[in-house]
Amino acid sequence: MLVNNVGGYWDTRQVTADGIERTLAVNHLAPFLLTELLLARLKRSAYARVVTVASQAHAQGWIDFDDIQGERSYSGAGAYSQSKLANILFTHELARRQPRVTANAVHPGVVSTAFGAEDPGRTQRLLVPLLRPFMKSPAKGAATSIYATTAPELVGATGGYLANSKARRSAPLSYNQDLASRLWRVSEDLVRAD
């Protein structure tokens, strides 16, 4: 089993050493590449599962292939939402391409972590301290990921989205198969770029 649990938020646009916008690279391309690199091994397993931690923020996301790296227009919230929509599109496409691998996306809830602390914008500095008492503990935030990786009833239940350890509907755009297929191809190109 593989749990892709990564999340970064940057108010200001940053690029990796490879020249890729950081939110896209960390939140989407890293899990995409790791899954791709481990796929042959996963497929040899009797009960292969890939769980990708997304976010309800995906519902505000869209994929602008003409500016997927935010070179013309960037906002931290927009980049984050796009990356989390990409996580769910990736999960749906993985489920379609690899029917022997159970692939699901999960929303952990709003969890009390150091998320966003590396580039603290207004939201991080002002809202997070006020909201922290209402956030889930990291242990409670992990519960849905644990459920998705261990629940016997999810064997073969693939391409889903879970929150609070229950199946949920993700945003309508996340079910666009053409968008998912195109994102997969673009992601392959980006992770293979020199």
Tell me the average pLDDT of the chain. 88
pTM, 2 dp: 0.86
More confident residue, 111 or 187: 187
**Cα separation of the two ends of the chain:** 30
Q: Which of 114, 110, 106, 60 is nearest to 85 (CA)?
A: 60
DSSP state of 117: T
**Amino acid identity at 116:** G
What six digits make up the tokens of 37?
A: 């690199």
Judge: domain 2-115+141-192, CATH 1.10.1300.10. no
Lowest mean pLDDT among 7-11, 63-67, 173-177: 7-11
Q: What is the pLDDT of residues 146-166, one digit of tens each?
A: 899 999 999 889 999 999 889
Annotated catalytic residue: which of 9, 47, 74, 80?
A: 80
Residue spans of the domains in the chain: they are 2-115+141-192
Phi, psi of 169 (to 5 degrees): -90, 130
Q: Is 161 a catalytic residue?
A: no
